[in-house]
Amino acid sequence: MKNRLLIALTALALSASSAFCADEPKTELGEKMTAISTAFRAIGRQAADATKNADTLAKIASMKTALEASSHLKPATTADKPAAEQAAYVAKFQSEIKAMIALVGKLEEAIKGGHNDAAAKIIDEVKAEQSKDHKEFRKQAAK
């Protein structure tokens, strides 16, 4: 009985989430973020492995390119801000993206220098920054 309830609830949750996605097509910034995320996950998996440094550096480069492109876009949440605050909000977003590019540059330098052992700490810093920036700029899921 418990299991059936669980299955029913899971099915409901899945259909609700796909309906939500259908209503909200990915933004241009969302597309860039997806590319950043794909590259970053791979980097996280292989950064400790020095035999993969050439590929890790290629993925870091693609992360930087997508971050650069993101810096010319606006978060969707800009529209929720009062008109008088929007310019400052977008400027702050751009400066945080630049800070992330700098951090990813630090990761690049570590890998280039063969300091694979230092990469894990920088990756943790990237994750902490990402989480802080998402809290500030990304639409929060309804509670």
- Summarize as ranges the residues that interact with ligand HEM (CB under 6 A): 26-27, 29-30, 33-34, 36-37, 40, 75-77, 93, 96-97, 100, 126, 130, 133-134, 137-138
Question: Would you mind telling me the total number of residues written for the chain in this entry?
Answer: 143
Of the pair 51, 140, the CB lying nearest ligand HEM is at 140
Alpha-carbon distance 130 to 143, whole Å?
Answer: 21
Alpha-carbon distance 81 to 136, whole Å?
Answer: 12
| Residue 1: CB minimum distance to ligand HEM, A | 36
Helices and strands, number each (H, E), in the chain: 5, 0
Of the pair 7, 17, the CB lying nearest ligand HEM is at 17
Of the pair 29, 116, the CB lying nearest ligand HEM is at 29
| Residue 130: CB minimum distance to ligand HEM, A | 4
| Residue 124: CB minimum distance to ligand HEM, A | 11
Of the pair 9, 128, the CB lying nearest ligand HEM is at 128
Alpha-carbon distance 51 to 72, whole Å?
Answer: 35
C-beta separation of 60 from 104 below 8 A = yes
Look up tokens 């994750």; give the residue. 127
Chain residue whose CB lies nearest ligand HEM: 30
| Residue 5: CB minimum distance to ligand HEM, A | 30
Tokens of 57: 């550096």
